[in-house]
Amino acid sequence: MTKAIKLLTALPSPQRQRLMSLAREVSFPEDARIFEAGGTADRFWVIRSGAVSLTQQVTAHRRVTVAGLGAGDLLGWSWLFPPYRWDFGAEAFSPVRAYEFDAAAVLGLCEEDAQLGMILVRSVAEILAHRLETTRGKLMEQYTTGRRSVL
């Protein structure tokens, strides 16, 4: 299994400092919906404290949690890929403090600093690979044990 990486620690110090110059500190109360699947993905967050649940709407009245995120984790990757729409929803499972980044500003910074852009894309790809592998493992476990619950 791939190792989980944290976005900010994956960046060398000069690139991390450049990225952090765009950060804005935000907070979300427990149970706050941070974004909904299908919405415009124009920002992302790095969680400083608290817990966030990534959710998928499975019926008109039922959401399931597909992943849990905590301190240091990247929240949101859809801002990096067309059509720039959230694939999942996100909800604060507890009070959350995070760094928020405007996608357009970060993409502009990546145009200016190709090394930052490459490291950022690679880091997001590693994070996605790890989450995919974790989800696949959970699905296999669900399937092989015959349990009906979803992740």
Alpha-carbon gap, residue 62 to 43, rounded angstroms: 26
**pLDDT averaged over 10-residue windows placed end to end, the chain, 151 residues:** 74 93 98 96 97 85 83 94 93 97 97 93 90 75 62 51
Alpha-carbon gap, residue 67 to 71, rounded angstroms: 14
With a CB cutoff of 8 Å and minimum separation 6, the contacts of 64 are 55, 56, 58, 150, 151
Q: Is the peptide bond before 83 cis (omega within 30 degrees of 0)?
A: yes
In this prediction, residue 141 carries a pLDDT of 73
In this prediction, residue 37 carries a pLDDT of 92
In this prediction, residue 147 carries a pLDDT of 53
In this prediction, residue 139 carries a pLDDT of 66
Alpha-carbon gap, residue 72 to 6, rounded angstroms: 6
